[in-house]
Structure 1
Amino acid sequence: QTLTNQFGCDSTIITTTNLLPSYRTTVVLDLCAGDSVLFNGTYYSENQPTGIDTLNTVNGCDSILEVSISVLLQPEIRYFRDTLCADEVLEFFGTTYTIDQPTGQHIIPSIENGCDSVITNIELTFNLPEAELELTDPDCPDSTGHWSISRLSGGLPPYTYAIDGINFEVAEGLPLRGPIVPGNYVLILRDALGCEAQQFFEIEAMPPLTLDLGGEIEVRQGDTLTLNPELNFIPDSLIWSPSDLLNCTDCLNPTLVPVNSTTITLRALMDAGCEVKDDLLVQVDKRIPVYAPNAFSPNGDNSNDYFTLFAKPNQVLEISALSIYDRWGNQVFDATSFPPNEESQGWDGTSRGQLLNSGVYVYMAEVTLIDGRKLQLEGEVLLMR
C-alpha cells in the first residue's frame, strides 16, 4: 500500500497477513438401537441422527464438528407364547412364571458392542376352567337332591366333567343337571388341554320328620281334650281324622269331647310330597261321678235346703227321674227330666205341701249320660230338722 507523506514523497506500507488454519471434523457416534447419547450438550438418537457443533480453537478460530450417529445392529425381538394350566409354573431364564406373573422380558446383551442382542418377550396364558354349579338339598328325608351346571367358562372347550371324580362325561347341552344323594362330592372340570379345576360341595340330607301325639291318653267321658302334637318341622298342611270328632281338621291344636274310646290320626304334609303321621289312642273313662248327698237340712237357711244329684254338666245330660220314699215305701217325691246341680228342682223335704219328719229316706234315680246310656242309682238320705 503506497501513501504520500507530507513532503510529497512516497510512503510504502507492506502488510503481511498470516492465515491461521481452521478445522472441520466429522464425528461419528456409535449408538445402540433405541438409545440416545449426550454430546456437547445435545442429545443424539435415531430421531435426531445428525448435527453441527462449532468450537473455538486455542487461537480463536472456529472448529466445526459434523456429528452423525451410527446405529448398531438392531436387536432380535423374540416372543415366547404358551398356554398353561392354572396350577402350572414355568422356569425361564431364572424367573418363575405363574398365573400371578404371566408376562416378562429377558434381554441378552451383545458381547461385541454391549448393545442388546436378543430381546425375548414372555407372554403366557393360564387356563382356569370354571363351572357355575347350583345345588339343591333334598326336600324330604330319604330323597335325593339335585345339581345343575348352568355355565362353563375359562379354559379351552370342549369340556368334560365328573361329579364323582371318576366317570367323565362330555359337557354338552347346557344346562347340565341330575339327581344326587346326600354326601360330599368333588366336581372335576377338564378343558381340551387337560387343565383341571376342582370344586368341592356337599348335599345335606334333610333330617327325619318327627311327629308325636303321645301314643295314648285317658280322659273322663265328657271332658274337653286339646291335642298338642310335637313336630320338628313346620308342615305345609295338616289333616286330622276322624273329622267329625274335632272342631277343626287342619289346625295345629284341635279340641274334642270324646264320648267313646277312639284313635285320632294326624297326617302332616310338606308341599314337596313328604308326609309323616302318628296316632293317638284316646281312652274314655266312662265311670261317671254322680254325687248324691247323704243328708240335707231343709230349714230355709239357703244351705243344703234341697236334695238332688250333682254331676259335671258335660257328663250327665239330665236326671231322667228322681223318686223319694219313706221307710214304709210311700213315695214322697217324684220329678222327671231336669238337669243335675239344680237344687231348687230337687226334694225340699215335703210331701203334698206338708213338712216331713226327720229321718232316713230312700231315693231311686235314673240318670241319662251324654252318650245316651242310662245310669240307675239308689241310696239313702237323712232329712234333718
Structure 2
Amino acid sequence: MHKPMNKYIELILLIVFSFSVGYSQPVNDECESAIILENVDDWCSADGQFNNINATESLLGAPDCWDASTHDVWFRFTATATAVNIFVSGAGNEGNLKKPMVALYVDNGCYGTFYQKKCKLDFNNSNSVELTDAALIVGESYLIRVDGQSGNMGTFKICIKNFNPPVEPGQDCATAALLCDKSPFVVKYVSGAGADPDETTNTCISEEKQTTWFKWVAKNNGTLTFTLTPIQITDDLDFVVFELPNGYDDCSGKQSLRCNATFGGNYAPCGPKTGLDLLSTDLEENYNCDAGEDGFVKYIDMQQGHAYALVVNNWSASGNGFSIEFGGTGEFEGPEPDFVFDPPTGLRCEDSIQITDVTDYKLGSIVERKWTFGRDASPQLRQGDGPYKVFYDSYGWKSVTLTVKSDKGCVSTKVKDIWMEPCCEDLPVNERLKIMVDSVVNPICAGDANGIITVSGIRGDPYYRFSIQDTNFNYNPIFNNLSQGIYKVYIVDKKGCRDSIYVDIVDPEKLIADAGPDQTLDLGDHTFMNGDYFPKNYNVSQQWFPPYNMVDSTDFDTEVFPYNTTTYTLRVTQDSTGCVAEDQMTISVKTNRLVRIPNVFTPNGDGMNDMFTAYNLKAATGIDEMRIYDRWGELIYDAKDIPLGDPSKGWDGTFKGKKVLPGVYVYLFMIRFLDDKVIPYAGDITVLR
C-alpha cells in the first residue's frame, strides 16, 4: 500500500511549529500576495479577521516612522476618491495586536523602488493606529503595510474609507462646514468647544467638549439618516440636529430636532455607533443607554430649501475623529460638478483630449476648481476654469477628478473614466517589444509549487508590466510559487504593445519510497520489513515510524516484533535537497492467544507432574493470578505474579498444608500477553493420587 508524499523537511517543521501556536503563515506575508480590498468607500473587516502571526520580514526595510519591520503583512486597493482613512486596531474585541503600525505606498507591483506616502504608529499605547492621506490619484493602486512595534504579533481589524473630503469643519455653528452632497467622509481629529461653548444649551448635551459643526440646505423633500462611527471605538460620540429657520448663514434661533447623548463606546450596551435611522421612534436619548435605547434616534423629514445643522461632540475628549455616512431620500443642495471629453471616444494613447467643465450651480457661483487628470497625464494637476488639453502617455482607463468649491463654501467632487486605446504601431520585428526569459528555477522537489520564472523586456516603452494569466498585470517580473507546467508569460508596455513567451517549469525526478507489501502474523511472531527507494542515484537517509519494537529504525531492512496491528511509515529524505518521500505498510497481528493448561496432574512426590500451572505456546508473558476452587466453590489456592510453565511454581495439590482428596477442581488463570492484555482462562483440573 503506497502513499508517497513530497515536501521539505523545513516546511514540515514550520507547519508543526505554526500549528503549535494555532496560526500558519499569513497569506499576505509578502507584498506580491497582498490581499486586495474591494469596495473601499467605507469598509471594515471582521474583528480579528487578519493577523501578522508568523509573518516574515520583508526585504524592503522599515518605513520612515517605524521602529523596525519584522512581521509585516500587505493589502492593496485602488483609489476611487482623493482621500483615504486607514484604521488598524488590536484593541478590545477587535484583536490582540499590541501597538500596531501602518504605512501607505504607491503600488509599484512590489518591484523596484517603493514610494512611501505616509506612515503612522501607535504613540499613545491604545493598540490602534489611524492614517489619513488626502492626496490620492483616483484610479491608482496603493499598498497598505501593517506590523506591530517591537516585533509584536497578533490579530487585528482593519477599516478603510476612501472619500472626497469636504471643507474643514468648524467648532461653532457660525464656522460650520457647508455640505454639498451626502458623500461619506472622515474627520481625522477634533479639539475644543470653539469660541462659543454653550451652543448646545437646552439640549441633551450638557457640556461641549470637542465639537464639530456641519450645515446643509435640503435640495428636496425627503428623509435623512446618518451613522457616526468613532475612529477610536471606545469614544463616546453625542450629537444634535438643528433646523436653522433663518437660513444656513444665520445660527440664531436654531431649533433642536434630534438629540442623542446616550453613553456609547465599544464596551457600552449601545455600542460605539450613533445617528439617525428609519427604525427608531424616539426623538432624544439621554445618558446611560437605558432600556429600549440603542444609540439611535428617529430620522428627520427634510423640507426643500430649509437649512439644517449637525454638531458632533466627542464626550470622551480623546482628540480622535469619526466617520459619517448618510442615507435617506433627501439630498443636499450644492453644485453638481461635471465635465465633458472631446472627443468622447476613440482615443489612443499619445492623442490629446480636451476636457471642459460643465458644472451646474443655480444658487451661487463656483469660486474654485481643482483638477486631477490621472495616471500618466500631462498635465496631471490643474486649478482653474479650463478647458484643458490633456495628453496621456499610456493606454488604459484614466480617471479624471474635478473638485469644485462654491461661493457658499461647500465642496463637491466628480470622477469620470475614459479609455485610451493602445497606440502600438506596426514596427519592424527587430524594433518591437520583446519579452526575454532571464532565469528559470525549477521546483526543488517533485510536486512542490516553488518554481520561479524571471523575465524582462527589451525595446518598446520601458514601462513594462507582466502577467502569467493575461490579467492583473503588474511591474514585478518575478513569478513565484509555480508548480510543474507550461506557462505563458505576457508583457505589455505603457503604449499597450504586447508580447508573450512559453516557459516550462519541470519537476526533478520524483523521489519514491517503497515500504514493501503488507504482512500478517500471529501475536508473538516477528518478521522483517524490507524498504527501498527510487531513483537509486539519489543519496538518502531513511527512518521507520513508529520506531518501537524493531531492531534498527534507520535501516531499510530491519526486524520488527509488533504486538498490535501497526501501520509503519518509511520516510526517505534526499540528502542534498531535503525532499521527502513516504510510504506505508501494515503488519496485521492475529491475536491467537494460545496457552497450554493440563486437565490432570498427579501430586504424589515422584518428581513427575507434581505441580499444576499454565504453559506459554507463543505470546503469553506471565500469570497475573491463579485460583483453585473445590467442588463447593471454596477458594483453596490463590497466587499472584507467577511465571508461566515454571515447574517449581503453581499448585502442589494441597490446602492448608494437607493433601486434597483426588477429584475434580476448578481453576481460573488471569494470563497477561505481549500486548499487555490480560485474558481469563477457566476450566477443570483432575487430581489423581
TM-score (norm 1): 0.42
In terms of fraction of residues, the more strand-rich structure is 1
TM-score, L = length of structure 2: 0.24
Larger radius of gyration: 1
Higher relative contact order (CA 8 A, sep 6+): 2
